[in-house]
Amino acid sequence: MASLSRQLAQWIVGLRYEDLPAEVIDRAKGVTLHNVASVLIGSQTSAGKQAVKFITEEESAVRNGATLLVYGTKVTKGGAAFANSEMAMTGGKLDSFRMLTHPGTSIVPSALIAAETGGVSGKEFITGIAAAYEAMERMAADFIPSVMARGFHASPVFGIFGAAIAAGKILRMTEDQMNSCIGLCVSLAASNLAGLRSGGRMLREGAAVRNAMLAVALAQQGHVAGETVLEGDGGFYHAYTGNNVGKLTYSFVGDTQTTFEKITAGLGKEWMFLETLYRIYSTAGYNIAHIDVTAKLCEEHNIRYEDVERVEAVVNWLETQYPTPAFISRKETGPARPGGTAYFTAYGVVKRGFPVERGLGVDPAGADVPKEVLELMKRVTIIPSNEMTLFGPRITIFTKDGKSHTRQGTGREFVWDFEEEARRIRGVIPSLPIPAAQFETIIATCRDLEKAERADKLIQLTLK
């Protein structure tokens, strides 16, 4: 049997735009729009500005590089990868796959660089996006909690593969080049949780996408990475999960075993990419459903803050022990705190929603936060369960008249089509560094991306 990287490479290289189901094309447009919006927001944050400053000071006077989104400066492809990804990450409007990976912060910046340097069409761009999401998410799906338990952050560890695959596909790599590109990512993948736990910041997706550009360049030059670098003895899965036989340290649903065969089973027929959801609120992904599910429950039964005695939320157990039970930095079952899960559940009751434009780094107990939210969160109980779906809390509101009302989340409340994405992401317009009309043009360009002769038109539309 062909190696895992070889099977992936064969499928990626052979994938055509005509092979993509309509819903996959629609989702590729949606995640592109979502992540471009996050870059626009992130360009104004201190971390985003710091990344841009670092790259522009290090890489001035580059002639044949790639463009920094929003700023328009030409830098190296690796430099653009780093800064554009950092802006996407710090913008807070991420997409999420199985809680702990954010594929778009790696894939979309890489795909835009490849689109610019390769001069490709919108259809080629969409195909590259779809191939990258699908391959990355299949590689990550069962292994995310186990990778986290080893002290790595799964998002950049798997993100490097998504970024490299997107660029490689868009730049029309051969099968051998793609196979080596995937193999090279094994040597270049990295991240660590210790910095976050000791007062620092993790080096995350920005570094992963920069390394992905190196993997792409080396593979294009003929560097051969080997055949079984993913599943082989001492290979990627052995290094990042502790074994190469599919044993799991942790899983979202309590499984202790998986197989590598699952990664490629049904490729092109069953699209894991469609599980990707939009983190429309700038908070930890597992909090977003608490806002909308609770708000919907209150709307259905006309429940007001004044009516509520207490609230219970039953959630997937891993959502209460962030980022991993092995190295907990945030435990959501403890006393309620501003910015925690109980806080966002209370927000859903009090305001029946949450401000889409409210960004990361804002004081969750600031003067603009309703005092009712800070009071009610103390009466919210978070209950962990290993039988609950991710991002699908079961909310029960107990009212002062002795009644109770329950709503079960599906985990798909934040999985929607392009038009719903466009409607909801418009909420960030007041906080963007470009005029509203310019953002509307970005939305329209993403909507009709398959008609574009050059996909890099999107880059120019982000410029201030």
pLDDT, tens only, 136-145: 999 999 999 9
| Predicted pLDDT of residue 256 | 94
d(CA 60, CA 71): 13
pLDDT tens digits along 12-47: 999 999 999 999 999 999 999 999 999 999 999 999
Residue 61 has pLDDT above 80, yes or no: no
pLDDT band at residue 60, thresholds of 50, 70 and 90?
A: confident
Q: Which of left, alpha, beta for 72 (phi over 0: left; psi -120 to 50: alpha)?
A: left
Mean pLDDT score, 65-93? 97
Please spell the DSSP secondary structure of 309-332, one letter per residue: EEEEEEEEGGGGEES-TTS-SEET
Q: What are residue 151's DSSP bridge partners?
A: none
Contact by Cβ (8 Å): 34, 287: no
pLDDT tens digits along 345-398: 999 999 999 999 998 889 999 999 999 999 999 999 999 998 999 999 999 999
d(CA 115, CA 171): 8
Residues 6+ apart with CB under 8 A from 59: 65, 75, 76, 79
Rounded to 10 deg, the angle between the 175-188 and 4-14 helix axes is 130
Residue 363, both tokens: 């004081």
| Predicted pLDDT of residue 361 | 86
The overall pTM is greater than 0.95 = yes
d(CA 349, CA 365): 17
| Predicted pLDDT of residue 136 | 98
| Predicted pLDDT of residue 1 | 87
| Residue of 167, 149, 140 lying closest to 85 (CA atoms) | 167
| Predicted pLDDT of residue 63 | 80
Rounded to the nearest integer, the mean pLDDT of the chain is 96
Amino acid sitting at position 100? L
| Predicted pLDDT of residue 199 | 84
| Predicted pLDDT of residue 179 | 98
Residues 6+ apart with CB under 8 A from 342: 313, 332, 336, 377, 378, 380, 381, 382
| Predicted pLDDT of residue 16 | 98
pLDDT band at residue 195, thresholds of 50, 70 and 90?
A: confident
Mean pLDDT score, 69-80? 96
pLDDT band at residue 258, thresholds of 50, 70 and 90?
A: very high
65-74: burial string, b at 16+ Cβ within 10 Å, e else? bbbbbbbebb
pLDDT tens digits along 281-293: 999 999 999 999 9
pLDDT tens digits along 286-316: 999 999 999 999 999 999 999 999 999 999 9
| Predicted pLDDT of residue 74 | 94
pLDDT band at residue 254, thresholds of 50, 70 and 90?
A: confident
| Predicted pLDDT of residue 200 | 87
pLDDT band at residue 201, thresholds of 50, 70 and 90?
A: confident
Domains by residue range for the chain, with CATH: 4-279+417-461 (1.10.4100.10), 286-408 (3.30.1330.120)
Residue 62 has pLDDT above 90, yes or no: no
CB atoms within 10 A of CB 335: 9
